[in-house]
Amino acid sequence: MLLITKNLSKQYIIEKSFFSNKKTVVMALENINFELKEGSILGVLGETGSGKTTLAKLITKLIEPTNGEVIFDISDVRRSVQMIFQNPFSSLNPRMTIKSILKEPFLIHHLANSRNLESKLKALLDKVNLNYECLERYPDEFSGGQRQRIAIARAISMEPKVLVCDEPTASLDLSVQAKILNLFLRLKEELGLSYIFISHNIEVISFIADEVLILYEGGQVERGLKDKIFKNPLHPYTRILLGSESYEFKKVQAEKDHKGCRFYCNCKLRTNICQQLAPQEIEIEKGHYVSCHNPK
Ligand SMILES: Nc1ncnc2c1ncn2[C@@H]1O[C@H](COP(=O)(O)OP(=O)(O)OP(=O)(O)O)[C@@H](O)[C@H]1O
Ligand code: SF4
Ligand SMILES: [Mg+2]
């Protein structure tokens, strides 16, 4: 295992606003438990607000957990675990040339010196299919797809083991999305990478992931091998998300706070226990886990 999360949880406290004197607590993630195997792509699937970006920031240590932990079997985590952000337009400094953007991590981490810097930059651009001439240009001279290639080049320049990709193709056109997804797959093989790949898009996760973690309102509801989850979704929410059942969702904020199952108010299979007790995760078949009192 490259990393394991143990009861990983994050609360945000929103200080009183202009309209209200009360502090609000947002339980963005609660008791997240999974592992990332070496050479594997873990797809994290969830709707908006389910806690995906919070998870990415916790894994990359951009924020600290409120409870729980991430245990790494990797040295030098800050260099070895890199994040690719959703928006390549805001993740690259518009005032820096591509050369300055790409050479910075090489120099900070002592991965290049003045003699081999040029050849390292060239090799890096080759890996992401960008032309050497782009080095003297600025980010806003490039398309969204090209910028994402530059962001990927910057991340792999640090010779990471894990890339945490937060919706890296969501802002791109469909044809460009496919090329970037294929680039991720090629780099994984060439560089021996592993990915935590976040998306709200089922087709993207279905294409790229080996294993899947499904989030609902800050909690994990199901996880396991992709084929098992897609062929045989066990959690009532997963079945709705994957389209095997239709349902009109009630958005119930209170679900986050009550002590039972967070999906209670929307669930057709709920029973009394579901309101009283949060379901523990159980392994239903090898490599397939679900958090539900009444799985299918
Ligand atoms: N800095 C913050 N302060 C307060 N609340 C936050 C903060 N960041 C996220 N949240 C809240 O935490 C919850 C999870 O947010 P998060 O951004 O992790 O979700 P997400 O799954 O990435 O959503 P999206 O698909 O829209 O990107 C949401 O309710 C969000 O409003
Ligand atoms: S624990 Fe109960 S309410 Fe929650 S998803 Fe399962 S059946 Fe539905
Ligand atoms: Mg997000």
Ligand 1 atom nearest the C-alpha of 55 is 18
The ligand with the least distance to the CA atom of 51 is 1
Whether ligand 1 lies within 6 angstroms of the CB of 219 is answered as no
CB-based contact 92:101 (threshold 8 Å)? yes
Q: Report the topology of domain 3-231.
A: Rossmann fold (3.40.50)
CA 213 – ligand 2 centroid, Å = 17
Listing from the earlier edge strand, what are the strands of the sheet with 67-72?
A: 24-36, 3-14, 67-72
Q: Confidence band (pLDDT; 50, 70, 90) for 24?
A: confident
Q: Confidence band (pLDDT; 50, 70, 90) for 249?
A: low
Side-chain-facing half-sphere of 129: CA atoms under 13 Å: 11
Q: What confidence score (pLDDT) does residue 258 get?
A: 63
What are the angstrom distances between the C-alpha of 252 and each of 14, 30, 212, 263, 267? 19, 17, 25, 9, 12
Kindly report, residue by residue over 67-81, the tens digit of the pLDDT: 999 999 999 999 999
Whether ligand 1 lies within 6 angstroms of the CB of 236 is answered as no
Residues whose CB is less than 8 angstroms from the CB of residue 108 and which lie 6 or more positions away in sequence, other chains included? none
pLDDT higher than 90, residue 15: no
Nearest to 238 by CA among 274, 288, 184: 288
How far apart CA 172 and CA 183 sit, in angstroms, is: 14
% of the chain with per-residue pLDDT over 70: 95
**Ligand 2 pocket residues where CB is under 6 Å:** 236, 261, 263-264, 267, 269-270, 274, 279, 292-294
Ligand 2 atom nearest the C-alpha of 279 is 1
Q: What confidence score (pLDDT) does residue 22 get?
A: 80
Kindly report, residue by residue over 114-125, the tens digit of the pLDDT: 899 999 999 999
Kindly report, residue by residue over 122-181, the tens digit of the pLDDT: 999 999 999 999 999 999 999 999 999 999 999 999 999 999 999 999 999 999 999 999
Q: Confidence band (pLDDT; 50, 70, 90) for 296?
A: confident
Residue nearest to atom 12 of ligand 1 (CA): 28
Whether ligand 1 lies within 6 angstroms of the CB of 169 is answered as no
Q: What confidence score (pLDDT) does residue 23 get?
A: 84
Total-model pTM:
0.94
Whether ligand 1 lies within 6 angstroms of the CB of 54 is answered as yes
3-state DSSP assignment of residue 266: helix
Mean pLDDT of the chain: 93
| CB neighbours of residue 290 within 10 Å | 25
Nearest to 128 by CA among 173, 185, 183, 208: 183
pLDDT higher than 70, residue 248: no
Ligand 2 atom nearest the C-alpha of 221 is 5
DSSP element (H, E) containing 41:
strand 41-45
Whether ligand 1 lies within 6 angstroms of the CB of 10 is answered as no
Nearest to 241 by CA among 42, 48, 85, 30: 48
Q: What confidence score (pLDDT) does residue 206 get?
A: 96
Kindly report, residue by residue over 181-236, the tens digit of the pLDDT: 999 999 999 999 999 999 999 999 999 999 999 999 999 999 999 999 999 999 99
Mutational test site, ligand 1, from 9, 24, 52, max ligand atoms within 8 Å of CB: 52
Q: Confidence band (pLDDT; 50, 70, 90) for 247?
A: low
Q: What confidence score (pLDDT) does residue 204 get?
A: 96
Q: What is the largest CA-CA distance in the chain?
A: 69
pLDDT higher than 90, residue 87: no
What are the angstrom distances between the C-alpha of 196 and each of 81, 95, 189, 245, 294? 10, 30, 15, 27, 29
pLDDT higher than 50, residue 254: no
- Ordered by start, the domain boundaries in the chain are 3-231, 233-296
Q: What confidence score (pLDDT) does residue 259 get?
A: 85
H helices of the chain, where? Answer: 52-59, 77-80, 98-108, 117-127, 144-157, 174-191, 202-208, 226-231, 236-241, 272-276
pLDDT higher than 70, residue 244: no
